[in-house]
Homo-oligomer: A and B are copies of this chain.
Amino acid sequence: MKAFVSIIMGSTSDLPVMEKAAKFFNDMEIPFEMNALSAHRTPEEVEKFAKSAVENGLKVIIAGAGMAAHLPGVIASMTSIPVIGVPINATLDGMDALLAIVQMPPGIPVATVGINASLNAAILAAQMLGLSNAKIAQKVMNYKEGLKEKIVKANKELSSVKYQFKVN
């Protein structure tokens, strides 16, 4: 089994944020890997990883980083497969990480999701994989369909909240 997606983070302190991506891939039965890499502490490892991503069979890379979050952009500069960036809220409510990831210069895009939104990063990766994998595409469609249940449940709970002048 080869990984389709690699989830990258700079330290295990980012794991509580990033594990939602891992759980999504596991639930969806999409092979993935997780690696610790740092744009600043192990630049050579980042380079080695990014440059061999295609030949290793990776299709998408998800990179989470906080503060002056360079990791997603640095990886994106060294590979031609899509890189999804997850800004992690370590300081300044995550605004520093968001801007350091999304405001990439012309030529090197990073597909940025919301602050701490690793689940959305994983769904986005699955959508990309689904472009050439009908089974994954179907899973994404099923997952999106399932989102409605949250609303159904919410409506049930709301209808159980009683006020005299509330109309049901």
Contact = CB atoms under 8 A, between A and B. Distances in A.
A101 B99 CA distance: 11
Contacts of A166: 22, 25-26, 31-34
Contacts of A137: 80
Interface in A68-109: 68-70, 73-74, 76-78, 80-82, 84, 91-96, 98-109
A35 B155 contact: yes
Count of identical protomers in the assembly: 8
A60 B157 CA distance: 23
Interface of A: 1-3, 9-12, 15, 19, 22-23, 25-26, 29-43, 45, 47, 59-60, 66-70, 73-74, 76-78, 80-82, 84, 91-96, 98-117, 119-121, 123-124, 127-132, 137, 140-141, 143-144, 147-148, 150-151, 153-155, 157-159, 161, 163-168
20 contacts: A26-B166, A29-B164, A33-B168, A34-B159, A36-B151, A40-B76, A41-B108, A42-B151, A43-B74, A67-B103, A67-B104, A80-B137, A82-B124, A96-B99, A96-B103, A100-B103, A106-B119, A106-B120, A109-B127, A111-B113
